[in-house]
Amino acid sequence: MNTNTKSESYLFKAECFKIVGACMAVQNELGNAFLEPVYQEALALELDKRKIPYERESRLAIQYKDAVLDKKYFADFICYGKIVVELKVCRGLAPEHIAQALNYLSALKFDLALLVNFGTPRLQWKRVILSQERNPSFQ
């Protein structure tokens, strides 16, 4: 597990800074008392305002060997065409949230996800990285 926290080694640092800033603006305006769909809608408005490119509720195809499964998952947002943004409203981010992000990264063959939790008094967020070598790390 890579726990290097030097800012120069951050993957997509500028993009993450902008996304997290948009999430903070939403939390500052709405607080932490709503359900996830409210934060999804508000974040879409904030991303538009900040001209951050995104796709909302992107469908993830899951492949098993040579077949694509009928079961689909949906990422809350894909920003800049390369960063999964998964929203939560809970007491705290848990290992199962990280596992979900890793599964999304694996399905999309992406390297970075942002887990964002609006359910705490202060915005909680975590970077989840699945490198090309498919070794997870967390920042």
DSSP state of 73: E
Provide the whole-model pTM: 0.86
Q: For residues 127 and 7, what is the distance between their CA atoms, to the nearest angstrom?
A: 13
Return d(Cα 138, Cα 56) in angstroms, integer: 24
Q: Taking 90 as the threshold, does the pLDDT of residue 10 lie above it?
A: no
Distance (Å, rounded) from C-alpha 110 to C-alpha 106?
7
Contacts of 28 (CB under 8 A, 6+ apart): none
d(CA 128, CA 12): 12
Per-residue pLDDT band at 134 (split at 50, 70, 90): low
Query: Where do the domains of the chain lie, and which CATH numbers do they carry?
Result: 11-138 (3.90.320.10)
Tens-place pLDDT, residues 104-132: 998 889 999 999 999 999 999 999 999 75
pLDDT per position as a tens digit, 70-80: 888 899 999 99
- Is the pLDDT at 5 greater than 50? The verdict is no
